[in-house]
Amino acid sequence: MNATSGAVLAGQRILITGGSRGLGAATAERLAGMGAEVIVTYRQRAEEAAQVVARCEALTSGARAEPLDLIEEDSVRALFARLSERGDELDAVIANAAATAFKPLLELKPHQIDKTFAITVRHFLLTAQLAFPLLQPRGGRIVAISGADTVGYIPGHGLLAAAKSSLETLVRYLACELGPLGVTAVGVLPGYIDTESIRLMAGPYHDKLKAAEQLTHPLRTAATPQDASEAVALMCLPEARWLNGQIVQNDGGGLFAYLGRFGHAWAMVPDAAILPEADRPDSTDAPILQRTDDPPASPDPQG
C-alpha cells in the first residue's frame, strides 16, 4: 500500500461488501473520490449497486459491482474465484455487509441465529481467508465494520451484538496472525448513523430519535453515512498501518456522552412525580442533572 501524490489512493483496488446503500455506498464513493478503484458487492439490489458504481466511475474509472450472498458459502467462494481469474489483487477488503433479526433474545429462532453468524462471523473469516492471497502482494488490509451495540445495550440488538463482538475478536487475531505476513486488520465501530436501516428499525419514532441525537450528541448532529465513511476511508490509507488490531471508535464522541444523556433524561422526569416537596434536593447539588450547556454553579466563596 504505497501512498501517491494527488489522489492518495490512486492505483489501489478496494472491495466493499454491502456496497449498494448506506455506509457501504458512502464509503465506496469516498474511496473513489480519493482515487481508488472500487468493487462493491450486493445481494439483491443490483440497480442500486449500479447507481453507486456510476457515481464512483464519475470520480475514478474502474468501479464495478459484483453479486455476493454472504449467507451462502458457495457465493463467497465464487466471488473470489472471479477476482482471481481476473488477476484482481486487492489493497483492502471492507467487510461492511450485515443482517440480523432485531428481536429480544428469548424470541430468536435458530435460523435467525445461524444467518446472523453466517454473515458476520463464519463468512467474514472465509472472506479473510480467500482475500489473503489477493491482499498479500500489495501489503493490504482487512477493515471490518462493527457496531455500537457491542458497547452498550440497544433493544433487539443482542444477537447482532454477539456476532459483532466475535467479529472484533477475529480482527484482533487476524492482526496478530497476518501481520507477520504483511497483511493488517482493523475494525471500525460507528455510533448512530442515520440510515435506511435505522429508519425502518425506529419506525414512527425515527424523527424523535434523530432529533434526540442532534440535541444531545457532542457535535450536535446526527451522523450521516457520508460522515461515518470518513474514518472507514482513513483506515485504508497506508499511514493507518499501525492501527493494526485496533477497533477504532468512530462516533464523534457520542458513545462516551451517553452517560451525560442519562442526566438529560433524568432531568426530564418531574421531581413532583417521585418525591414529596419537602424531600426534593436542590438540583445545583447534583451536577449530573444539569444541562451540559448550563453554566456550572459557582461555589460560595465564603464557604
Long-range contacts of 30-34 (CB under 8 A, 24+ apart): 30/226, 30/229, 30/230, 30/232, 30/233, 31/56, 31/233, 31/236, 32/56, 32/57, 32/59, 32/60, 32/63, 33/59, 33/60, 34/7, 34/8, 34/9, 34/233
138 and 280 belong to one structural domain: no
* Per-residue pLDDT tens over the stretch 7-39: 999 999 999 999 999 999 999 999 999 999 999
Of 156-160, 195-199, 275-279, which range is least confident? 275-279
Instruction: Kindly report the number of other CB atoms within 10 A of residue 151's CB atom.
Output: 19
Measured distance CA(57)–CA(78) in Å, rounded: 24
* CATH number of the CATH domain containing 195: 3.40.50.720
Give the range of the structural domain holding residue 43, as residue numbers without chain letter: 13-256
Please indicate, yes or no, whether residues 201 and 271 belong to a single structural domain of this protein: no
Between 60-64, 113-117, 210-214, 244-248, the lowest mean confidence (pLDDT) is in: 210-214
If asked whether residues 100 and 191 sit together in one domain, one would say: yes
pLDDT higher at 3 or 158:
158
Residues 216 and 70 in one domain: yes
pLDDT in tens, 204-242: 888 888 888 888 899 999 999 999 999 999 999 999 999
Mean pLDDT over 38-45 rounds to 96
* Domain identity same for 78 and 141: yes
What's the total number of domains in the chain? 2
Question: Do 158 and 214 belong together in one domain?
Answer: yes
